C-alpha cells in the first residue's frame, strides 16, 4: 500500500474516528485490526497506516491513535526509533489531557 496525497478520510460511524489523517504530504490511513493481539495500536511506517484494536473503549482509543500518530511524527524527526516508545508512552496521555482541558488553546493553535 502506498500513502495517498493529502486529504481527509471519512469518519468511522461507530467512533467518529477519521479513516485518514493529513500529515505533511501524506494521508495516514486508519484501519481496524492489529497484528499483535496484545497491542492496542500499531504504526506501519511502510504503508503509512495506523491499525487499532476496535474493542477498546473510546477514551482508550483516542489515546491509542494519538500514541501512534506520535510514532509517525517522531519518525520524521530523525530521533532514534528505539527511543520513541518510552517517550511517547510518557507524553501521549499528558498531551491528550492538556488538549482535552483546553479547547480554546486547540482552537487558537489550529487557527
We report the CATH number of the domain holding residue 67 as: 1.10.10
**Residue 28 pLDDT class (50, 70, 90 cuts):** very high
pLDDT of residue 82: 81
Q: How many residues does the chain have?
A: 111
Contact 52, 32 (CB under 8 A): yes
**Residue 101 pLDDT class (50, 70, 90 cuts):** very high
Query: At residue 10, does pLDDT exceed 60?
Result: no
Number of domains in the chain: 1
Rounded to whole angstroms, how far apart are CA atoms 51 and 33? 6
Q: What is the mean pLDDT of the chain?
A: 85
Residue 3 lies in a domain: no
Residue 94 has φ and ψ, to the nearest 5°, of -70, -40
Rounded to whole angstroms, how far apart are CA atoms 49 and 89? 19
Residue 87 lies in a domain: yes
Rounded to whole angstroms, how far apart are CA atoms 81 and 60? 23
Residue 38 lies in a domain: yes
**Residue 12 pLDDT class (50, 70, 90 cuts):** low
Segments forming the whole domain that contains residue 86: 20-110
Residue 28 has φ and ψ, to the nearest 5°, of -75, 120
Residue 14 lies in a domain: no
Residue 50 lies in a domain: yes
Residue 74 lies in a domain: yes
Contact 68, 50 (CB under 8 A): yes
Averaged pLDDT for residues 4-26:
68
pLDDT digits (tens, 9 = 90+) for 41-90: 999 999 999 999 999 999 999 999 999 999 999 988 888 878 888 899 99
* Residue 19 CB coordination number (10 Å): 15
Amino acid at each position: 500500500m502506498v500513502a495517498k496525497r493529502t486529504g481527509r478520510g471519512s469518519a468511522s460511524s461507530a467512533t467518529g474516528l477519521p479513516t485518514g489523517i493529513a500529515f505533511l504530504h501524506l494521508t495516514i490511513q486508519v484501519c481496524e485490526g492489529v497484528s499483535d493481539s496484545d497491542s492496542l495500536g500499531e504504526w506501519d511506517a511502510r504503508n503509512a497506516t495506523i491499525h487499532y484494536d476496535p474493542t477498546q473503549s473510546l477514551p482508550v482509543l483516542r489515546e491509542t491513535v494519538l500514541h501512534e500518530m506520535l510514532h509517525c511524527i517522531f519518525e520524521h524527526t530523525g530521533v532514534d526509533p528505539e527511543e520513541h516508545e518510552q517517550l511517547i508512552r510518557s507524553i501521549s496521555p499528558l498531551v491528550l489531557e492538556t488538549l482535552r482541558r483546553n479547547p480554546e488553546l486547540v482552537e487558537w493553535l489550529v487557527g
